[in-house]
Amino acid sequence: MENLIKTTFDKLEMDSEAKMTIKNNLLHARKRNYTWMRYAACAATFIAVLFMIPTTRAAIVNAAEYLTRIFHGADGAEIIYEETDNMVKFSFEISDTGYTEISDGRLYFVLGDVRDDITDLCSESTYFRYELANSDGSKSVIFVGGTVTDNGWIELLFDADGNYVFGKRKVHSGELADSDEMPAWADAALRSEDMQYY
């Protein structure tokens, strides 16, 4: 059967004028030009990238802010607050710098260039309050209380929204420096900030 088909097609011939017409039509036929599609694809890609960059950048920045925040205490110590889905982690510098100084039988609040005599403002039940606003909107609140012979301080750190972040304290000095007992001034100071369970 194959031989029959082959021999039949071998007998068919196209006349030479028809061959020339087809050849000329193919040679002079207008070719389709798809270069404009390349430019359109490049433009579409460029626009897509332009729309994706700000969104991606914002997502990365928000994720970084959510996971890690850095605060600074009044004494310059750095507090790093890291939060994940199921964990909160703090890292902080420990400084021996206190906020009190005794000189000539007087109690002074000392922070950087500030040196205020607060002897008459403090007692076993009263305290001096100092607030320091940081450039990032967070704030440190420092309480100093006690007497010349037994004084101490508490520092509370709040974020820009007013949420408590971290605190440190040294509420006794002198012979009572190792005592865990909370003096009346410290209890009153913490209650004033709604932090009585600190």
Whole-angstrom distance, CA of residue 177 vs CA of residue 181 = 10
Query: 188 has which bridge partners?
Result: none
pLDDT of residue 115: 93
Whole-angstrom distance, CA of residue 150 vs CA of residue 188 = 16
How confident is the model over 57-110, as pLDDT tens digits? 666 665 555 567 788 788 878 888 887 767 778 787 777 778 899 999 999 999
Of the candidates 94, 140, 98, 144, which has an alpha carbon nearest to the alpha carbon of residue 119? Answer: 144
Average pLDDT on 171-178 reads 72
pLDDT of residue 195: 78
Average pLDDT on 18-22 reads 75
Indicate if the pLDDT at residue 21 is higher than 60. yes
Of the candidates 70, 65, 73, which has an alpha carbon nearest to the alpha carbon of residue 91? Answer: 70
53 pLDDT tier (thresholds 50, 70, 90): confident
3 pLDDT tier (thresholds 50, 70, 90): confident
With beta carbons less than 8 A apart as the criterion, state whether 151 and 99 touch. no
Residue 141 has a CB neighbour count (10 Å cut-off) of 20
pLDDT of residue 6: 67
Average pLDDT on 29-33 reads 65
pLDDT of residue 188: 92
pTM: 0.61
How confident is the model over 110-162, as pLDDT tens digits? 998 999 999 999 999 999 999 999 888 989 999 999 999 989 999 999 989 98
Whole-angstrom distance, CA of residue 184 vs CA of residue 145 = 9
Tokens of 185: 């001034």
Helix, strand, or coil here: 192? helix
With beta carbons less than 8 A apart as the criterion, state whether 78 and 92 touch. yes
